[in-house]
């Protein structure tokens, strides 16, 4: 008899990402406005993380200050090219039918809604860093080394697992694939250095928090894909 999927060792690591992607996929079919969509996505993903993943989530970074600095550094990596060369992102490498164009996922009419912005910020700073680090560096990087991934210590990888995770991480960032790739490399290197998912979650959350502040302060909404 097959055991329930919730008992599979990978389930706590992939449940959050699966829920997040599923909600994004069905957003366009739901009869809700932006506020309900962003609010529903945040609370449902948060619930999945609490009930499905809490046993594998650690919130105790071993290199907190360094992780914060890594997060800030990655933020500057994200905004630097566009700030220094305003037409950089219009190059065909970053605006084409394959990777899309740098365009915000938030409806222009919703940009003045403070609750929409609140849920968007909470999602990018609270839930996304947790679900992505669980999936990419908590599960996939180890699963590519050994299908019995729990035998593989956090931070252990092969060249293949390192680059597959970095490339797939880049692919989910659309027009920003090149900085997504560099970010994936840095976060991969950080889990190898710290062997602690909490450090990667903290660095990731700091990057996203800085990016959210920049989006709102500089009116650069295209970073919120």
| 8 Å CB contact between 48 and 15 | yes
SS3 content of the chain, % helix, strand, coil (to 5): 70, 0, 25
Per-residue pLDDT in tens (0 to 9) along the chain, 225 residues: 466 777 899 999 999 999 999 999 988 787 788 888 899 999 999 999 999 999 999 999 999 999 999 999 999 999 999 999 989 999 999 999 999 998 888 888 788 899 999 999 999 999 999 999 999 999 999 999 999 999 999 999 999 999 999 999 999 999 999 999 999 999 999 999 999 999 999 999 999 999 999 999 999 999 998
Q: Which residues contact 176 (CB under 8 A, 6 or more apart)?
A: 78, 94, 102, 223, 225
Q: How far lies 105's CA from each of 2, 32, 109, 117, 174, in Å?
A: 40, 15, 12, 12, 12
**Alpha-carbon distance 208 to 225, whole Å?**
12
Burial class of residue 3, CB neighbours in 10 A (0-12, 13-18, 19+): exposed
CB 97: neighbour CB atoms within 10 A? 6
Helix (H/G/I), strand (E/B), else coil: 67: helix
Terminal Cα distance for the chain, rounded: 43
**Confidence (pLDDT) at 225:** 84
The whole-number pLDDT of residue 158 equals 97
Residue 3 confidence (pLDDT) = 64
Cα–Cα distance, 138 to 143 (Å, whole number): 9
Which pLDDT score is estimated for 30? 78
pTM passes above 0.75: yes
- In the prediction, which pLDDT does 104 show? 86
Q: How many CB atoms lie within 10 A of CB 9?
A: 12
């Amino acid at each position: 008899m097959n055991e329930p999927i919730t008992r599979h060792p990978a389930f706590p690591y992939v449940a959050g990402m699966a829920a997040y992607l599923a909600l994004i996929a069905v957003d366009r079919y739901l009869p809700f406005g932006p506020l309900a969509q962003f609010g529903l996505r945040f609370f449902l993903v948060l619930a999945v993380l609490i009930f499905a993943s809490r046993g594998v989530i650690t919130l105790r970074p071993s290199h907190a200050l360094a992780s914060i600095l890594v997060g800030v550094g990655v933020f500057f990596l994200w905004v630097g090219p566009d700030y220094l060369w305003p037409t950089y992102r219009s190059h065909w490498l970053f605006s084409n039918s394959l990777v899309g164009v740098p365009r915000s996922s938030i409806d222009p009419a919703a940009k003045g809604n403070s609750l929409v912005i609140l849920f968007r910020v909470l999602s990018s700073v609270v839930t996304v860093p947790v679900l992505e680090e669980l999936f990419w560096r908590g599960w996939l990087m180890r699963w590519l080394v050994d299908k019995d991934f729990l035998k593989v210590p956090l931070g252990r990888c092969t060249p293949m697992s390192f680059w597959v995770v970095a490339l797939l991480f880049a692919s989910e960032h659309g027009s920003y694939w090149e900085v997504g790739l560099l970010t994936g490399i840095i976060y991969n290197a950080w889990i190898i250095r710290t062997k602690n998912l909490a450090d990667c979650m903290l660095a990731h959350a700091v990057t996203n928090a800085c990016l959210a502040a920049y989006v709102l302060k500089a009116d650069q909404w295209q970073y919120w894909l």
